[in-house]
Structure 1
């Protein structure tokens, strides 16, 4: 007879091996690693009834911290991967998505929650705030690759991958004010007199400013330590110790959270600041590789547990209304908001469509919901909120996972052809709009 722990170790070993191999095998297929592990979790928890029920309502604190760690690790990887220096014009796609597309998504889904799902204002706003941000974890398949080193030219990210990476890096933190607003409404109601002043002063201004400042400060300090320390023994860029990226992640996040700022913002800003300290140094690639592998392992665990929760009845209360609202959000609200946000920008029409469509929901959405339910007063609506958010995340995994490889491969070929036609054999320009 096989012992339970022995089977678990075998399954874990197989899962880790598959996680290492799958991204390469599925690169050109209408299938993604998240799809595989979500399905594997559903299958495992269906065939093995002895496994404990991973109901997020019963394990809210565990879900909060597990998804929290996964998101901040992903944010560090996203910031380190960006070759393009920060600037108003260089990052114009990012600012448009953050300033226009995300608020439009929040407004649109809040209205859908009020009108069709029958949610209260606080609950509807929470769902919208949790699902509006592009996920930095599951969106990795449409994000930029590893950092360029000294032998490679910078600023060669195509606008689609750059836009989705930078958007995912910042909007997970910028959605937090709306999560806090939903929590406040759950306690004091919708009347602005009960929450407006404190929300603007603390949840918008203080937390955001502290997140940015401590992210910059931590990044500058660590960048100097990594690349410019006087003593060779502590100049870590010379020792290829990639796990220090994890130290940077936890340090930036922890210090900012102690100061009651937005740790998600601080981690991404810290990563971008470290990258700017010595932009083309190969140590960035070492750190990025480490956090990418760790992120992938944590993603596998979370997706298997999510699949298990779905198999054990997490979506039991879902009806056609919820399915139609989820489809409306994924296929209408986010694409339309993204198109409006990018209109008259520097993106070409195909790029605009791709960025608007690939607003992937995922681990960050699960974190926001778990956090808010642990701090708010949503009562009997908690089960309904978990069911709907899990539905949207699962549908996003399937929809975007099936379309990412075909769409991105086609756009890459079109971009290369346009670049050759425009610039001859010299290759791709820093940005060739399509």
Structure 2
């Protein structure tokens, strides 16, 4: 089965590489192609990929999503020069401190109403689905179509929020685990503090050290181009492993390590590294989505009945968009930017990471994992298909604004 999976993922990666330019401009993203390939080759269709069920393979999915998230948030941290990151620090902190908890609460409420679930189950779903996924968000925050249409500030906000909130969602998830299980409030508080403070210390130390070492090596011509291009990837994996050994928040530690590395390095010694980061991020996502597509719990989705689609519709419409519209003025956003940021808060790898973490910490719930993966699959589909028309609408709104500005600008007499 491993050879079949490797062949499938390898063939798909070759297709994505050959048609990468077309895929960037089309409504078919790499993650969506992976998901559809997994469904087509899974037990509900051709039966080529006969993988263990979602309940049986959730630990493997957790490890795979953890590695992919680490690489992705490192790419986000290195996507822009550090001086550009500082210009949006305040808005990003507002999104993390206000928008993310409100999104967790609103998603919890939607889950409770749509599924008729108790507080524990609803909170597990709500907190796992609240973070914006950096893997899926990269498709609408970077790349030629987005860079040509969307303002740089809006793209930076989406990128940095998606990178930071994946790790910072951990305390919210731990609270949900405590509500649904037997953990005490004191135990959750202590674990959250250790996870966050430990991640800050580990991430800052490794990023600063890594950036300083690489910079000195480059100054002395001691580093060849190959290792330089792979340095950020290796740093992400090192921090992720160290964080697991220390039992701290690995995703947050990797992101902060990338920020510290970005601040320490000059950028000259890794001028081409951003391209490598994006390429790695684009191809490494394929195995996870192929596996996810092959293990989607169709029979459990059917048991949800109309409640499943109601959950999906409620989450996609109410989880994020109203919050960003209410925060438009504090975030200094134009209407088009608030709508764009409000709609494109995709749910993907980070949700798989937290859903499988919850399944590992608690007894498998018959609703949480199936309902959560239904939203992940729907978000992968809907946000990919809506990207091209959303970019077109954004461009038209920007053009109308420019035309009105031109019409109202007084002309100087010749």
**TM-score, structure 1 length as denominator?**
0.83
* Conserved 8 A contact 1:83-1:279: no
1:213 to 201, 205, 208: 201
Match of 1:408 in 2: 391
Counterparts in 2 of 1:39-54, with a 5 A limit? 39-45=36-42, 46-54=44-52
Q: Give how far 1:159 is off.
A: 2.1
Match of 1:389 in 2: 372
* Conserved 8 A contact 2:103-2:320: yes
* Conserved 8 A contact 2:240-2:253: yes
Match of 2:186 in 1: 197
Which region of structure 1 is more displaced relative to structure 2, 53-62 or 63-72?
53-62
What do residues 104-139 of structure 1 show as CA deviations (whole Å, max 9, x unaligned)? 111112122233313232221111111000001111
Match of 1:431 in 2: none
2:211 to 213, 219, 223: 223
| SS of residue paired to 2:337 | helix
Q: For the structure 1 residues 295 and 328, does the alpha-carbon distance in structure 2 shift closer, same or farther, using more than 3 Å as the test?
A: same
Gaps of 5+ in 2: 145-149, 407-414
Separation in structure 1 between the aligned mates of residue 371 and residue 81 of structure 2, nearest angstrom? 36
Q: Give how far 1:422 is off.
A: 8.0
* Conserved 8 A contact 1:338-1:356: yes
Separation in structure 2 between the aligned mates of residue 230 and residue 361 of structure 1, nearest angstrom? 39
Which region of structure 1 is more displaced relative to structure 2, 328-337 or 40-49?
40-49
* Conserved 8 A contact 1:339-1:356: yes
Name the structure where helix makes up a greater proportion of residues.
Answer: 2
Q: Give how far 1:282 is off.
A: 5.0
* Conserved 8 A contact 1:97-1:342: no
**TM-score, structure 2 length as denominator?**
0.87
Separation in structure 1 between the aligned mates of residue 395 and residue 223 of structure 2, nearest angstrom? 38
Which region of structure 1 is more displaced relative to structure 2, 41-50 or 56-65?
41-50
1:337 and 2:323 equivalent? yes
1:325 and 2:311 equivalent? yes
Separation in structure 1 between the aligned mates of residue 3 and residue 372 of structure 2, nearest angstrom? 34
Q: Give how far 1:368 is off.
A: 0.6
1:175 and 2:164 equivalent? no
Number of residue-to-residue matches in the alignment: 400
Which region of structure 1 is more displaced relative to structure 2, 8-17 or 130-139?
8-17
Q: Give how far 1:334 is off.
A: 1.4
Q: Give how far 1:306 is off.
A: 1.7
Q: Give how far 1:19 is off.
A: 2.2
1:352 and 2:338 equivalent? yes
Q: Give how far 1:20 is off.
A: 1.6
Separation in structure 1 between the aligned mates of residue 8 and residue 347 of structure 2, nearest angstrom? 27
Separation in structure 1 between the aligned mates of residue 403 and residue 220 of structure 2, nearest angstrom? 45
Match of 1:232 in 2: 220
RMSD between superposed Cα atoms in Å? 2.9
Q: Give how far 1:356 is off.
A: 1.0
* Conserved 8 A contact 2:31-2:286: yes
| SS of residue paired to 2:25 | coil
Gaps of 5+ in 1: 147-155, 189-193, 424-434
